[in-house]
Amino acid sequence: MLLAVRARWVHRCRRNMAHFPLFVQNELREAADGATIDIEDPATGASVATCATAGPKDVAAAVDAAKAAWPAWRDVGAKKRATILRNAAQELRRRVPELCEIETRQTGRPRREYKAQLGRVPEWFEYHASLAETTEGSAPNFIGDPDHLCVVQKVPLGVCALITPFNHPLLIASKKLAPCLATGNTAVVKPSELAPGSVLLLGEIFAASGAPPGVVNVLPGGADAATALAAHEAVARVDLTGGTAAGQALGAIAGSRGVSYGAELAGHAPLLVFDDVDLDQAVAGACFAAFLAAGQTCVSAKRIFVHSSIYDAFAAKLATRAEQLRVGDPFSPETDVGPLVSANALAAARQFVDASGAEILAGGSAPCAERGYFFRPTVLAGDPALDCFREECFAPVVCLAPFADEADAIAKANASAYALGAGVWTRDVGRAHRVSSQLNAGVTWVNCHHRNGPDAPWGGFGASGVGRENGRDARDAYTASKTLVVRTAPDGEDWFGGDARYG
């Protein structure tokens, strides 16, 4: 029934008319105070839907529902939870075209990019289902003590607040939700109010796949809803993907409460191009690294450093390729770069370029469409001391500068408060390992970019966050170790009695 209702909403969305309620206890409901927000199509600037936005009462109701559902979900066992995750994965895979429609309409990212990305989302649920089924406790040797048995179990934390951004709505929600549910926790997901549709649908898919009421709750909303979630006394873990300022604010709340916290925050990824590369391949790779998703991803290559001997040739080719990229309708298969997500994002990109002080080799801040929030792929060149090399611009904007040698390249790459992603282009395998090992980044790609999977840890250092998504790291983040020590010796012990004190 829920999915049939959503199908009608998607059909109405195609006719520029839709409404998305909240999802609590496997039910669709409006916000307690009736608050809504318009959802825009970034390609046109027109409102295409409305969405209920959660307030304090909605947060309290969702957390209460998740808290009530937790004991049964925790105790049902990994096999049953894994079955439900696999059921959801199968349904997600079947509905990729519908999910692409929703995400493209709400974020403006080209549909062909979402087709590739969303086709892989089910893997996260399948991986964590298998990991949960095969996770074992341990029996430490207890420093060789023959009189005691030590057993360590991995136990879930409880209610988890999952706060996700607009740029990869379903993928990032799934990266958090999969380990959260697989390990026996319940969830309140707060997707961005800019693009909530696919995450709401994910909640309904889990309900239809067998998740009991309260296990998955979805509350679109803004910063107030995120703050209320992080501060709720029943929330045992806060997991955020977003900007550094938001991460610091919510981290302070989680820290003051002493609860588990993870954050994947901003990035300003460097890409190093050495002089032994195939120039055309490196330029193509740099375009992909910088301009995928209109540069609205935290590991986009934003700072490209090129060996001085090939810098001029690389810069010319990159500028040409950037100018050739087709900016336009995200539903068209011919489009390379779609719009930015909002008018605010477009204004910020224009201001960033205008204030950069750098030479504009391609693109720039001039309007490139009569409507919508389109921004041309832009290549800037200048001194790495410029602010544009230090601050992230969430747009298709890249800064270019030369380097002299390996040491100079590494120093320039690491001259940033952000440390999430990085890239290296070289055909020298020794150099690839040598340089990568010295880069301050949680994820480094060599001769590729944006590649990831459910079993490969993902996260950064410094201003880019704390903790890791994916893999066993994510499983561990949603659990706590619980230690049991049992005395097995037949005789008793009396530390303060008999001759023990003289031993």
Q: Which residues are catalytic?
A: 176, 264, 298, 469
Q: Helices 78-94 and 197-208, interaxial angle, to 10°?
A: 130
With 0-12 / 13-18 / 19 or more C-beta atoms within 10 angstroms meaning exposed / middle / buried, residue 234 is middle
- For residue 408, count other CB atoms closer than 10 A to its CB: 14
Query: Which is it for strands 148-156 and 216-218: parallel, antiparallel or unpaired?
Result: unpaired
Give the residue from 392, 388, 372, 390 showing the smallest Cα distance to 380: 388
Structure tokens at 491: 């005789």
H/E segment holding residue 159: strand 159-163
Give the residue from 104, 69, 366, 79 showing the smallest Cα distance to 234: 69
DSSP 36: E
Contact 154, 183 (CB under 8 A): yes
* Residue found by looking up tokens 């690491």 in the block: 414
User: Phi first, then psi: what are they for 443, rounded to 5°?
Assistant: -135, 125
* Residue found by looking up tokens 């994820």 in the block: 443
* Residue found by looking up tokens 């029943």 in the block: 234
SS3 422: strand
Q: Edge-to-edge, what's the strand order for the sheet holding 397-403?
A: 359-362, 378-381, 397-403, 301-307, 269-273, 421-425, 443-446
- For residue 485, count other CB atoms closer than 10 A to its CB: 12
Query: Which is it for strands 22-24 and 27-29: parallel, antiparallel or unpaired?
Result: antiparallel
Q: Helices 406-414 and 429-438, interaxial angle, to 10°?
A: 30
Q: What is the 3-state secondary structure (H, E, C) of 186-243?
A: EEEEECECCCCHHHHHHHHHHHHCCCCCCCEEECCECHHHHHHHHHCCCEEEEEEECC
DSSP notation for 438-455: HS--SEEEES--S---TT
Which residues neighbour 258 within 8 Å (Cβ) at sequence distance 6 or greater?
none
Distance CA 324, CA 336 (A): 9
- For residue 375, count other CB atoms closer than 10 A to its CB: 29
